[in-house]
Chain A
C-alpha cells in the first residue's frame, strides 16, 4: 500500500542524506521525495511517498522519528488529505496535432508555458492520477521530455463543526 508521509526535519546540512540513507540502508522504498523550507527557516518540510505493508510503514515512521534531526512525522494518508504534483511536459506539436494538444490542455486545465514551432511545453498540476491520465493521452502524440516534482500533500482540516 502507498503511504504519503509528511516529515518536519531540522534544516541542517546532512539531514536529507540521513533520511535517504535510512531508506536505502534499510531497504525501504522511496517513490517520490519533495523538500523545501518551511515558514520557520530552521526547519525543512519533506513529503515522501513510500509503500509497504503496515509493519513496514510502522518501522519507517519509527526509524524516521529515531533520527536526531527529525522533529515530526505524520502519515497524511491515514486521514483525509490533499495531494498535488506538478509536471512540465514537452510534447510534439506539429501541424496536425497542434490543435489536439491545445484541446487536451483545455479539458485538463493545463497551461501552455512555452511554445516553439514544433513543440508545446505544458504545465499540469493535480493529484498523481490526473498526471497519469494526461500522460497516457499525450503519449501517442509524442512526449519529447518530462520533468515532475513528486507529490506534496497536506492534511485536510476537520470539517465537523
Chain B
C-alpha cells in the first residue's frame, strides 16, 4: 500500500477514473493540487480565463462524450465563480466533478482570507458535495464523487479540499467498486410495469412518444428508434431530447413546447397515449397544466422517481434506466408479433391528422429582401455542415432558431443549457466539446448578448489551438426578452437594446483569431463557407433582422394549443 498526500490522491483518482483533461484556474488554496498535477504530467489541464468557463467547459465535455467532466478552482471567488456552471449542469443532469480549494481546516469558520462556505452555497445545486476534513477519507470520497456524478440521474458533485488536507499524508487505498447503503438508484425497470405499458399501447389509437434528455444521457437513441419504428408512432422531443431521435426521420414531429412545432403541440394536445421517455414534463413543455393533453393516458419512463408524477398524473410509472426499459418494451412488442405494417394501418387516421397539421403550419419564416433572416443562417449552416457538426448554443432566440432549423440526427450533437437557460454557456461548452473531439467541427451559435458573457474564453481557445467556430446572430438586442416586450409589454423595450457592441471581427483579430461578417442575405453562404473552412478559432457575425421573432410561440401560462404563429 502506498502513502500519498491528499493532492496526489486527487491526481491518482483522476487517472484511475480515466480523466484525460481538466478545466481550471489556480489560486493559493489549490496551488498544491496544481503542483501535484504538474509534477505528474499525465493530465492535460486547460487554463480558462474565468472559472465559470471552466465549469461550462467540463459540462460541454461531459455532454459531448457521456463521460464525467472535471473542473478545478481555488477557494472563495474561484469557487463562487463556478456556481452558475454547477447549477447549469445540475438542471440538465450533467455529470461533472468540481474540485475547489479551501482555507486550512483550522481557519474554517473564521472569515479567513478567501474563505467561503462553498459546500453550503452549492448544496441545493449539486447532486452531492463534500468538505474533506480528514485525508484518510479522501480516497473513498474521490471514488464516491465520480460514481455519484455518473450513476442514476447524473449530476454535479463538488469536493472542497482544505489546504492542509491537500498536504496531509495517508494510505491511498482506492476502492475498485463502491457500494453505498444510502444511495442505490433503481436501474432495472419492473417487467410487470412494462407489460402494463404494452396493454396501454395496444389500446391506443393516437399515441405519441415524448422523448427527453434522458434518452441522450442513457445512450438509448437506438432503442428509442426501434420502439418508434416497431409501432409506427410519432416522436416529439424536448429541447434536451433533440438528437435522441433523428430529426430527419419521417416519424419525427420536431420539438414540442413553447417554441415547438405546431404539429407536435397539436399532437400532444390530442393524443390518447403519451409514452414519455426520460423527459420531465417541464412547464416550457406542458404550458398551462390544466389544459395539457386532456385525453391522454401516460406511460412515464424515468430513472428518477421525483420526475414521475411531479407535474402530471401518470398511469404507468416505469422507474429505471430508459435504455433497459425500451429494450424490454421492444421485446414485449416483438413477442406480440404484430408487424409494423399492422400498427401503421391501425394508426393511419392519426397519421393523416398529423400530416394535415404539418401541412397547415410547417416551421417557416418570412423572407424579406435585403435583410438576413436568422433562420436562413441556421438553414445554411445545416446544409454546409451536412448536419454533422456538434452545435452548442447560447440562450435566447439564437438557441430556439437553432433548435427549430438545424435537424439533429445524432445524440450529443446539440449542447445547450435548457433547464437553467444560462447565457454564456455555449462558447465554453464548445471548448469542452472540442477538447474531447479535436477533429470534429464544433460550432457555437450565439447571440450578441450571450457571447459577451464568456467572450474572455477566446484566449483559452487560442491557447489550446481549438478551431471552434462561433456564429453570432447579431440583432443588437437581448432578443428573446425584447420579443416578450414586443408581444406582452406594448413594445416598451426596457433595457434590452444594446447601443454599443464591439466590432466582433476586430475582436476576433485582437485575440489572434479570424473574423468574418455578413450584412446582406447574399453574403451569408459565402461568409459561412469562409468561416467554417478557415483554420483555427473563427467568429462569423451576421447582422440579422433586428426585430425578428421566434414562432410558433406559446405565451407563458397559456395552453399549448394557443400558439402564436408566423
Q: Mark B35-58, 1 if CB is under 8 A from A, else 0.
A: 000000000000000000000000
Contact B123–A17 (Cβ < 8 Å): yes
A70 on interface, CB distance cutoff 8 Å: yes
Binds A, one of B179-187, B388-396, B549-557: B179-187
Contact B183–A62 (Cβ < 8 Å): no
For A13, list chain B residues within 8 Å (CB). 131, 133
Contact B183–A68 (Cβ < 8 Å): yes
B128 on interface, CB distance cutoff 8 Å: yes
Contact A68–B182 (Cβ < 8 Å): yes
For A71, list chain B residues within 8 Å (CB). 181-182
Instruction: Give the CA-CA distance A84 to B131 in the complex, in Å.
Output: 36
A149 on interface, CB distance cutoff 8 Å: no
A52 on interface, CB distance cutoff 8 Å: no
Contact of B180 among A59, A63, A68 (CB under 8 A): A68
Query: Given A14-B119, A68-B180, A68-B183, are A55 and B309 also a contact pair (CB < 8 Å)?
Result: yes
Contact A65–B124 (Cβ < 8 Å): no
Contact B123–A18 (Cβ < 8 Å): yes
For B123, list chain A residues within 8 Å (CB). 14, 17-18, 21
Expressed in whole angstroms, the minimum distance between the Cβ of A64 and any Cβ of chain B is: 10
Instruction: Give the CA-CA distance A50 to B280 in the complex, in Å.
Output: 25
Instruction: Give the CA-CA distance A65 to B319 in the complex, in Å.
Output: 14
Contact B306–A17 (Cβ < 8 Å): no
For B128, list chain A residues within 8 Å (CB). 68-69
Contact B306–A63 (Cβ < 8 Å): yes
Prevailing SS type, chain A contact patch: helix
Instruction: Report A27-62 residues with CB < 8 Å from chain B CB.
Output: 55, 58-59, 62
Instruction: Report A55-114 residues with CB < 8 Å from chain B CB.
Output: 55, 58-59, 62-63, 65-66, 68-71
For A68, list chain B residues within 8 Å (CB). 127-128, 148, 180, 182-183
A140 on interface, CB distance cutoff 8 Å: no
Expressed in whole angstroms, the minimum distance between the Cβ of B315 and any Cβ of chain A is: 15
Q: Mark B538-559, 1 if CB is under 8 A from A, else 0.
A: 0000000000000000000000
Instruction: Give the CA-CA distance A66 to B309 in the complex, in Å.
Output: 15
Q: Mark B107-136, 1 if CB is under 8 A from A, else 0.
A: 000000000000110011001110101000
For A17, list chain B residues within 8 Å (CB). 120, 123
Closest residue on chain A to residue B310 by CB atoms: A59
Prevailing SS type, chain B contact patch: mixed
Q: Mark A5-17, 1 if CB is under 8 A from B, else 0.
A: 0000110011001
Closest residue on chain B to residue A10 by CB atoms: B182
Contact B305–A65 (Cβ < 8 Å): yes
A25 on interface, CB distance cutoff 8 Å: yes
For B148, list chain A residues within 8 Å (CB). 68
For B223, list chain A residues within 8 Å (CB). none
B444 on interface, CB distance cutoff 8 Å: no
Name, among A10, A63, A66, the residue most crowded by chain B CB atoms within 10 Å (CB to CB). A66
B59 on interface, CB distance cutoff 8 Å: no
Contact B305–A66 (Cβ < 8 Å): yes
Closest residue on chain A to residue B305 by CB atoms: A62
B304 on interface, CB distance cutoff 8 Å: yes
Instruction: Give the CA-CA distance A18 to B131 in the complex, in Å.
Output: 14
Query: Given A14-B119, A14-B131, A71-B182, are A66 and B124 also a contact pair (CB < 8 Å)?
Result: no
For A69, list chain B residues within 8 Å (CB). 128, 182
Name, among A14, A17, A18, A25, the residue most crowded by chain B CB atoms within 10 Å (CB to CB). A14
For A66, list chain B residues within 8 Å (CB). 304-306
Expressed in whole angstroms, the minimum distance between the Cβ of A59 and any Cβ of chain B is: 6
Closest residue on chain B to residue A66 by CB atoms: B306
Contact A21–B131 (Cβ < 8 Å): no
Instruction: Give the CA-CA distance A18 to B182 in the complex, in Å.
Output: 14
Expressed in whole angstroms, the minimum distance between the Cβ of A93 and any Cβ of chain B is: 44
Closest residue on chain A to residue B127 by CB atoms: A68
For B180, list chain A residues within 8 Å (CB). 68
Instruction: Give the CA-CA distance A69 to B184 in the complex, in Å.
Output: 11
For B119, list chain A residues within 8 Å (CB). 14
Expressed in whole angstroms, the minimum distance between the Cβ of A97 and any Cβ of chain B is: 47
Expressed in whole angstroms, the minimum distance between the Cβ of A15 and any Cβ of chain B is: 10
Instruction: Give the CA-CA distance A63 to B308 in the complex, in Å.
Output: 11
Instruction: Give the CA-CA distance A71 to B182 in the complex, in Å.
Output: 4
Expressed in whole angstroms, the minimum distance between the Cβ of A42 and any Cβ of chain B is: 9
Contact B124–A58 (Cβ < 8 Å): no
For A70, list chain B residues within 8 Å (CB). 182
Instruction: Give the CA-CA distance A25 to B133 in the complex, in Å.
Output: 27
For A14, list chain B residues within 8 Å (CB). 119-120, 123, 129, 131
Contact A21–B124 (Cβ < 8 Å): yes
Instruction: Give the CA-CA distance A59 to B131 in the complex, in Å.
Output: 28
Name, among B120, B127, B305, the residue most crowded by chain A CB atoms within 10 Å (CB to CB). B305
Instruction: Give the CA-CA distance A62 to B306 in the complex, in Å.
Output: 5
Instruction: Give the CA-CA distance A72 to B306 in the complex, in Å.
Output: 15
Expressed in whole angstroms, the minimum distance between the Cβ of A40 and any Cβ of chain B is: 11
Closest residue on chain A to residue B306 by CB atoms: A62
Closest residue on chain A to residue B304 by CB atoms: A66
Instruction: Give the CA-CA distance A65 to B131 in the complex, in Å.
Output: 22
Closest residue on chain A to residue B152 by CB atoms: A66
For B129, list chain A residues within 8 Å (CB). 14
Contact B120–A59 (Cβ < 8 Å): no
Given contacts A14-B131, A69-B182, A71-B181, 16 further A-B contacts (CB under 8 A): A9-B182, A10-B182, A14-B120, A14-B123, A14-B129, A18-B123, A21-B123, A21-B124, A55-B309, A59-B309, A62-B306, A63-B306, A66-B304, A68-B148, A68-B180, A70-B182
19 cross-chain CB contacts under 8 A = A10-B182, A13-B133, A14-B119, A17-B123, A18-B123, A21-B123, A58-B309, A59-B306, A62-B305, A62-B306, A63-B306, A66-B305, A66-B306, A68-B127, A68-B128, A68-B182, A68-B183, A69-B128, A69-B182
In order of increasing CB-CB distance, the 6 nearest A-B pairs are: A71-B182, A68-B128, A62-B306, A62-B305, A68-B183, A25-B124
